[in-house]
Structure 1
Amino acid sequence: MAYIDSNTNKFEDFKGVWVFAEQREGKIMPVVYELLGEARKIADKLNEKVAAVLLGNNVDRLTEDLIKHGADKVYIAEDENLESFTTDGYSKVISNLISEYKPEIVLIGATHIGRDLAPRIAAKSGTGLTADCTNLEIDDEDGKLLMTRPAFGGNIMATIICPNHRPQMSTVRPGVMKKAEKDDTRTGEVIKYEPNIKEEDIRTQIINVIKKAKNDVAIEDADIIVTGGRGLGNKEGFELLEKFAKKIGGVVGASRAAVDNGWIDHSHQVGQTGTTVRPKLYIACGVSGAIQHVTGMKDSDFIVAINKNKDAPIFKVADIGIVGDLYNIVPKIIEKLDKMDEIEKKAMA
């Protein structure tokens, strides 16, 4: 176990901001680019470097992409035993890296893998972990990392610090941070790390990977989202929204109320207890605008709200608000779009 003893390691020994560069089948997960963007801002404020930690097998081709998205260094550990994620294998290698190189801050995406991995690393490193954060800042007075996350079912936002241990660790909810811009002129250092991982170090064995076919684009990656809320009145309302979303090249989202009523699967849920999104266009249909929902979509580039209640809170965050019955308004929008398509087809004929 790579346990860091606070008595023998001084805080000034810990330098840099690390990002776990989660990859699956040789593809960097979208949340990594969000973490790199946030790490870059934090590191610049602390006058430190950003490092990405990349584990896998035959993934060295990904290092350049990480550097161009903001990493100054990439620690890469490659081994056949790291080809597929295992909690034992990944936590051992990363905690050993932390013990040797002593980062001040470690950021991990709150994905299925990240939520499994981060607590194990924190325990092995003898430090704390703030999970599922939606905001990160540096305290101007003492330079500590201020980690903010929803608490008490999303009714309050709690800001947490880790004053007595290092590194300061956080998992960050996908979709809440702005992705780092790619800069093809950036250069950085690649540090190859010998993982020293053996088959017997891993208590689980992956026999087979079965993928579930999905027709929809994940809502966190969508540019356009059409979301339905309690105002739909029934699950059949989502058939209309599906038609609308397909027409404008988007995907369907849902409020917690709609999911709790069993009208649509939880994978569509937007909000603090669902998925945080930042699409270019967000259309809220029959969504009242509870704070838990708004927190998960307020950073959308452009927000349109359709609701019969002119006093609905959703209108406070909307760029355009339409007061009326969505079952009258949405079909008219679809009809108008159909007519525009016909005109375009005739013009091209």
Structure 2
Amino acid sequence: MAIVVLVEESDGKIKKSSLEAIAYAAALNKQMNEDDVVALALGNQVSSEELESLGKFGANRVLHVTDERLNQGVIQAYASVVDQAMNETGAKVLVLAKSSLADPVASRVAIKQQAALGANVVDLPDLSDGFVVKRSIYTGKAFAYTKLDRDKKIIALRKNAITPEEGTETATVENFSATLSDTDFDATITNTEKSEGDILLPEADIVVSGGRGLKGPENWEMIEELADTLGAATGCSKPVSDMGWRPHHEHVGQTGVKVSPTLYVAVGISGAIQHLAGVNSSKYILVVNQDAEAPFFKAADYGVVGNAFEIVPQLTEKIKASQN
């Protein structure tokens, strides 16, 4: 039997989080001695070459549904296709990366398949006594060990839970014909607006954010220069966006954009619990703050106590020098 992985795309490229889901499924495949890992791609915005490259991360084959109606990510339609793909392959496990699209899809497929759903999973399951997954709960402050007792299981993987290693294999791409009814498209997406900028926060591998410690919008140039040097997206704390220093789409936190980059750089941000809730999935956190007692240091992997107006320009120049 197979393990099915739902993959998502952005601008014609498979998302990094989906590559992580494939790598997780490949590791789980070995653990469970299943037959193969089947990636499921929906819509016609990804090239065959891009889909074949999923073999480098552990997919044996790719089922591609080229119906252009699936380009918009209609939840009901996605759930219907995933349900059919699981039935077709005889899959007992579905893996997907947590996202605003994948989360509701996973819930609907769980009902269709009568499957147990484990959300925010951060590690491979313990199979010594059933199927027990480790889940991140309370905005990353604790872990829960949950036994999935149903015959079929759905794993919603937290971003950065696994580091995909790129190999040289190529996946076989197969056309998959899914039966879709008009009711699958009862909900219609009338408009989609994306945040501006070369690198969007939800997809960024590196994020550089600033807080009230920068004292005003006129000082944001050094944040933007550091971000440009790192190839990063820029973000900010809620008070900064509330004061109009930065646009609201840059607000990172519990009530703003939740990010899961490899590196999150926080400059002049104290680290209120609402902000931490939006960044705790980051693989590494670097904090720059002149207040040694700032709460953010407790969550940081690396911390620099000092004046941001001195440290950030020096850091930028050091990075530029290393790049040259």
Judge same fold: TM > 0.5, yes or no: yes
Paired with 2:88 and 2:166, the residues of 1 have a C-alpha distance of 30
- Residues 195, 322 of structure 1: CA spacing in aligned structure 2 closer, same or farther, 3 A cutoff? closer
| C-alpha displacement of 1:275 | 1.0
Instruction: State the 1:71 CA deviation.
Output: 0.5
Question: Is the 1:308–1:323 contact (alpha carbons within 8 Å) kept by the matching residues of 2?
Answer: yes
- Which runs of 5 or more residues in structure 1 are unaligned? 1-14, 345-349
Asked whether the equivalents of residues 134 and 143 of structure 2 are also in contact (C-alpha less than 8 Å), the reply is no
Q: Distance in 2 between matches of 1:329 and 1:125?
A: 54
- For the Cα contact (< 8 Å) 2:235–2:252, is it kept in 1? yes
Identity over the aligned pairs, expressed in percent? 28
Kindly tell me: are residues 220 and 177 of structure 1, through their superposed partners in 2, closer, same or farther at Cα, counting changes over 3 Å? farther
User: Aligned residue for 2:62?
Assistant: 74
Name the SS of the counterpart of 1:160 in structure 2: strand
Deviation at 1:167, TM superposition (A): 2.2
- Length, aligned pairs only: 316
Describe how 1:1-349 pairs up with structure 2 within 5 A. Answer: 15-23=1-9, 26-48=12-34, 49-57=36-44, 61=48, 62-131=50-119, 133=120, 135-151=122-138, 154-163=140-149, 165-174=150-159, 176-184=160-168, 186-199=169-182, 201-205=184-188, 211-212=193-194, 214-222=196-204, 224-229=206-211, 231-232=213-214, 238-246=220-228, 249-255=231-237, 264=246, 265=248, 267-269=250-252, 274-279=258-263, 282-288=264-270, 292=277, 295-297=280-282, 299-300=283-284, 304-312=286-294, 314-315=296-297, 321-331=303-313
Comparing 230-239 and 109-118, the one that deviates more? 230-239
**Match of 1:203, as an amino acid?**
D
Contact in 2 for aligned 1:266/1:274 (Cα 8 Å): no
**Taking structure 1 as reference, are residues 150 and 113 closer, same or farther at Cα in structure 2, changes over 3 Å only?**
same
Question: Whole-Å Cα distance in 2 between the matches of residues 63 and 126 of structure 1?
Answer: 29
Q: Which amino acid aligns with 2:64?
A: I
Q: Distance in 1 between matches of 2:305 and 2:209?
A: 16
Residues 207-230 of structure 1, C-alpha deviations (whole Å, 9 max, x = no match): x65554622412354454322245
- For 1:67-87, what per-residue CA distance to the aligned partner results, in whole angstroms no more than 9, with x for missing partners? 232112323333354454322
1:92, CA displacement in angstroms? Answer: 1.6
Gaps of 5+ in 2: none
Provide the TM-score with structure 2 as the length reference.
Answer: 0.77
Distance 2:194 2:212 in 1: 29
Seen in structure 2, the aligned counterparts of structure 1 residues 89 and 229 have a Cα distance that, compared at 3 Å, is same
Kindly provide the amino acid, as one letter, of the partner of residue 122 in structure 2: N
Deviation at 1:37, TM superposition (A): 1.6
The offset of 1:148, in angstroms, is 0.7
- Work out the CA distance in 2 between the residues paired with 1:217 and 1:241: 15
What amino acid is aligned across from residue 39 of structure 2 in structure 1?
A: A
Let me know the Cα RMSD of the aligned residues: 3.8
What is the alpha-carbon distance in structure 2 between the residues aligned to residue 309 and residue 79 of structure 1? 54
Q: Within 2, Cα distance between the matches of 1:182 and 1:111?
A: 23
Question: Given the two structures, how large is their TM-score scaled by the length of structure 1?
Answer: 0.72
Instruction: For 1:142 and 1:121, locate their aligned partners in 2 and report how far apart those are by CA, in whole Å.
Output: 25
Contact 1:16 1:50 in 2 (8 A): yes
Structure ID, larger Rg: 1
Are residues 126 and 216 of structure 1, via their aligned partners in 2, closer, same or farther at CA, if it must alter by over 3 Å? same
1:182-217 C-alpha deviation (Å, 9 max, x unpaired) = 322x255545433122446532456x6555462241
Q: 1:288 to 1:161 in 2, by over 3 A?
A: farther
